[in-house]
Amino acid sequence: MTLSPMARDRISAFWMLLPTFLLLFAFYLYPTLYNLELSFTDITLLQLRQGGKNVGFANYVEFLQSSSFLDIAINTVFWLTFVSVSMMLILGLLMALLLNSQFLRRIRMTTVARLILLVPWATPPVVAVIAWRWLFDPKHGAINEFLMWTGLISDPITFLADLATVWPAINTIIIWNSTPLVAVALLAALQTIPEEQIEAAEIDGATRWQQFRFVVLPYLMPTLSILGLMSVIWTFNNFVYVWLATGAGPGTYTNVLATEIYMRAFIDMRIGYSSAIGVVMAVVMAIFGSLYFRFFGLMNMQEKLG
């Protein structure tokens, strides 16, 4: 039987893509399925060889009915994700507009400003947290020393131990470390906007705000939508910032889903229970991603029809 050229191309493509599919299965699908299996057991860290008993949905029910569930959910969804990502996108957009402005070009500071912007992003999160912990230190931190020198405060502020300041402090670390990536991506998108469209808007008498609203922003929306989704996923699942900054403290005040998984797995040694929390996180992100793509897909369709 002689195969058509199209069929031969498909077979060749399949064999070329097969190693990639096997790697994806080995590194993503298999651990996911294994984690799902563990979530239905009572296995502990000391029972990995023997395995645990099947307990059905008991781990999920226990977590969702726990007294700390609501606090953990609010911390993860609002404080860790919503506040951080919103500020990252807003500040990233403002930085991109500044880096693309004629003002920096006139004073010949464009290259220097871009290099300075990349420093926080190039800093590993662990190093960033350590540096900011020193800055926030109540005894020797530069921030407290500056505030006391200016007379704004009379006593040092324990930024990472005070309930009123601990979340803003964590958000500051995340925003400082992650915003440059958003700014660089938006800067690249800004530089693809045709100058003719902006010049046409100026000739039509559009103000700077109208130029931004009706010319610049529509070009940036595809990039902003992708950056928003990626930032939400990275931040929602992040463990490093909260754990290294506060250890989920003071007490469990800044406990989030990622730190809850760590504590239940490696402190309480309840691998099955922590796996159930991980599955809950994955389901939440899957639902969010589906709704997100649906929303922005409808927006893009309406813009094209409009």
Q: Please check whether residue 140 lies inside any domain of the structure.
A: yes
With b for 16 or more beta-carbon neighbours within 10 A and e for fewer, the 87-119 pattern comes to: bbbebbbebbbebbeeebeeeeebeeebeebee
DSSP reduced 3-state for 155: coil
What was the pLDDT predicted at 132?
Answer: 96
Distance CA 202, CA 105 (A): 20
Q: Please check whether residue 169 lies inside any domain of the structure.
A: yes
Q: Please check whether residue 14 lies inside any domain of the structure.
A: no
Q: Please check whether residue 44 lies inside any domain of the structure.
A: no
Q: Please check whether residue 33 lies inside any domain of the structure.
A: no
Q: Please check whether residue 284 lies inside any domain of the structure.
A: no
Alpha-carbon distances of 39 from 61, 79, 96, 268, rounded to whole Å: 11, 27, 44, 15
Q: Which residue range(s) make up the domain with 199?
A: 74-254
Q: Please check whether residue 234 lies inside any domain of the structure.
A: yes
Q: Each residue's pLDDT tens digit in the chain (306 positions)?
A: 566 777 777 888 888 888 888 887 888 888 888 999 999 999 998 887 788 899 999 999 999 999 999 999 999 999 999 999 999 999 999 999 998 888 888 888 888 888 888 899 999 999 999 999 999 999 889 999 999 999 998 899 999 999 999 999 999 999 999 999 999 999 999 988 888 888 888 888 888 888 888 888 888 988 999 999 999 999 999 999 999 999 999 999 999 999 999 999 999 999 999 999 999 999 999 999 888 888 776 555 555 545
Q: What is the CATH number of the domain that holds 78?
A: 1.10.3720.10
Q: Please check whether residue 227 lies inside any domain of the structure.
A: yes
The alpha carbon of 111 is separated from its chain's Cα centroid by a whole number of angstroms, namely 27
What was the pLDDT predicted at 275?
Answer: 95
Q: Which residue has the tokens 């808007």?
A: 201
Look up residue 54 and give its two tokens: 């099947």
